[in-house]
Amino acid sequence: MKRSALIIALALLAAALSMVNLIDFMMSHLLDPIDHGNMIFSSAIAVLCLVVLGIWLTLRSAANAIVAIVIAAMVLVGFLPRAVDAVQRWHQADRERIEGARIQEAFLAELAAQQKDVDARVARHRAFSGPEAADLIAFVQSSDLSWRSLPDYSDSAFPLLERSLTAKILDPNSQIVRNGQSAPVFVDFYNRNIRPSRTAIRARDWKILELLIANGANLSIAEAQALSADLARKRIAEPKGFLRLE
């Protein structure tokens, strides 16, 4: 009798431990993009079935080894969702590491190509066309890879833009056509990156705009009226590299 009571208490303790773990796992993963609900529910049902089986075997005086296996299985099932999630996260982290290495390698190759191109253009006094200028600006914009847990290459990319502007091979007033509409490069940049989000402007985008303006952007044209008005607004620094206009 004492043996049965002890084993039943042990089975109930294992079941309680498993259920508490399942509840904790569910609560800590409510916002996960992966739905663990079915796995948690199935594990909970399995734990309940196993505890009933363990009690029944104990009352039937089954061998201790069999009851121990049932109790061990109960604990394993209770922690199965957490183990599966850990494996999935490991694989996801590995995939992200591989993808990050690919992105970094591609960026560094493009950075080297852009540096070589700027050097050649400066040596030959060969200016960027409007679309080419926009492509260089877009490349500089994308040089911060920290959002992918990779290095920020802004210190290498921004000097390319600054050098191109000071060497007069990139003209902020050169024209680019989008959707059938022609606009100066600096206006196009403003319309695409500043004007739509005056309350959440990336500080690096504002820096690019300031570089374009400081190097010959013609603010007297009609297309630059909205930009001129925003330049007169007060800039308020926001967290995480953003600013807003008031």
Residue 85 and residue 186 share a domain = no
Question: Do the strands 181-184 and 201-202 form a parallel or antiparallel pair, or are they unpaired?
Answer: unpaired
How much is the pTM? 0.71
Residue 139 and residue 218 share a domain = yes
Is 120 part of a structural domain of the chain?
no
Which H helix or E strand runs over 86?
A: helix 64-124
Residue 177 and residue 237 share a domain = yes
Residue 142 and residue 43 share a domain = no
pLDDT in tens, 198-239: 889 999 999 999 999 999 999 999 999 999 999 999 999 999
How many domains are contained in the chain?
Answer: 2
Residue 150 and residue 81 share a domain = no
What is the band of 16 on the pLDDT scale with cuts at 50, 70, 90? confident
Is 148 part of a structural domain of the chain?
yes
Please count the other Cβ atoms lying within 10 Å of the Cβ belonging to residue 219. 13
**pLDDT of amino acid 1:** 57
pLDDT in tens, 132-154: 999 999 999 999 999 888 999 99
Residue 70 and residue 159 share a domain = no
Is 101 part of a structural domain of the chain?
no
Residue 71 and residue 132 share a domain = no
Is 115 part of a structural domain of the chain?
no
Domain boundary among 94, 117, 144: 94
Q: What percent of the chain has pLDDT over 70?
A: 98
Residue 52 and residue 10 share a domain = yes
Is 192 part of a structural domain of the chain?
yes
Query: Is the pLDDT assigned to residue 67 strictly greater than 90?
Result: no
Residue 173: which of 135, 118, 219, 138 has the closest Cα? 219
Domain boundary among 69, 94, 119: 94
Domain that holds residue 193: 127-245
